[in-house]
A = this chain, B = another copy of it.
Amino acid sequence: TWHLKKLTSVTDLTPDNVNTIIMLADKIRASPHKYQGVLKGFVSANLFFEPSTRTACSFNAAMQRLGGRVIDVSGSSSSAVKGETLHDTIRTLESYTDVIVMRHPAKGAALEAADSGSKVFINAGDGTGEHPSQALLDIYTIVREIPARQRLSVCMVGDLKHGRTVHSLAQLLVQVFPNTKITYVSPKGLEMPTDVWQIVQQAGGDQSIEQDLHTAVSSADVVYVTRLQKERFNSQDDYEKLKDSYSITQATLALMKPDAILMHPLPRVNEIATECDKDPRAAYFRQMENGMYARMALLSLCVLGHEPVPHHHHE
């Protein structure tokens, strides 16, 4: 049995939960046809208050590949424009559906929404807050790509202040792999926020700040790059001066270990040069695909309350 019905933060997940999801994701990937009907008769509402191609499509494909149905609800078409509270929107959607997957621009909105309803709820990103299913797929990618080792070294690069993916990932990493060493490389003013730093600290995580990208990547098993957004800088000049120091090129790849991997939550703009795409260590497109399987595992567990039983006949 699986008890988790509402996922708003990575702190909702135990290491056991994460392992169950990872193992199930692998089983589904191995025999997708056997899982094709396990959510037949269930309906999901994809409630996106801000656009997101990849997260919305990934959850949509995950639900549909399990035989479930999806209703897309965009923020602009939603009754929120008529002044409805988030609480009422959630209660209404729960009248029609079995799962709500929500993206919202405000930090904390996920918790408010989860508390409003009684069915399955998954936070698909709330402002600068959390994005727990992204952390799950990131961990899944690391487990698939990096053989088990004594000590995992992860280097996070870019805007660590606003990137909710790295906030969720850092917390989940120390929870699942206690021997992880995390190194942060970011421009001044865009460092990992204090609250995340403290959570990692209290969990006994080994974390440090590194100024030089090249030093940091050379010893890492995982280099995790996030977007540097122009609008976060005081001036266009500041951005132009800095962006290259945090960009990954073939020269950066040359410094990386031969069995390391390069990750990015995508979309990327200039942070990773396209010349890197052909390098086998570039894992970001595989990471996307892992996301769909991780979400298939997550959705089926939360909706059914137990591991889905694979069908032996093509249904």
Contact = CB atoms under 8 A, between A and B. Distances in A.
Interface stretch (A79-87, A172-180, A207-215): A79-87
B95 A73 contact: no
Interface string A177-201: 0000000000000000000000000
A96 B61 contact: yes
A25 B1 CA distance: 33
A36 B43 CA distance: 12
Contacts of A267: 79, 82-84, 88-89, 92
Contact of A81 (B51, B56, B78, B289): B51
Interface string A86-120: 01110111011100000000000000000000000
Contact of A89 (B53, B60, B93): B53
Given A48-B77, A51-B76, A95-B289, 4 more contacts: A51-B81, A53-B78, A65-B69, A84-B269
A58 B96 contact: yes
Interface residues of A, number: 53
A81 B33 CA distance: 35
A64 B78 contact: no
B64 A71 contact: yes
Contacts of A71: 57, 60-61, 64
Given A57-B71, A82-B267, A32 B41 contact: yes
A119 to B, nearest CB: 12
Contacts of A52: 77, 79
A82 B269 contact: yes
A45 B288 CA distance: 15
A71 B72 CA distance: 9
B72 A72 contact: yes
Interface string A144-174: 0000000000000000000000000000000
A288 B64 contact: no
A65 B36 contact: no
A219 interface: no
Interface string A266-309: 11110000100000000001001101100000000000000000
A74 interface: yes
Contacts of A43: 61, 64-65
Contacts of A89: 53, 267
